[in-house]
Amino acid sequence: MALIKVFGVSLILLGFFLAYGLISSYRPLLFGTKTEATIVAVKRVNNKRFTYVYYPIFQFKHKNKMVKVVDRSRDIEENSVGIKEFIFYSANYGISRGPASTTI
């Protein structure tokens, strides 16, 4: 009986941990605003396998200010400058491309 209670408590704690991770990953979607951003540059970073990873630098207007943000959630090709995308941005939580990223 004690083994079943310990197993049940551990499953509940695991569920809370997964729910917290899910909520924290969707905060930019919940609290952010959807804006149209342009990739203005590409940041080149050394990779562990003697190659390079290219991260996009987005530029967009947020509350009448121009904002430039590096998105490290995924890499892009080096020649992707000038592409426009819809992103979700919050000053507290950063950027997110959303569940369905749209390239314009």
What is the domain count for the chain? 1
Contact (CB, 8 A) for 82 and 102: no
pLDDT in tens, the chain (104 residues): 888 899 999 999 999 999 888 887 777 777 778 888 999 999 988 887 778 889 999 999 988 899 998 888 888 888 888 899 888 888 887 787 766 555 66
d(CA 28, CA 98): 8
Domain hosting residue 74, numbered range: 2-103
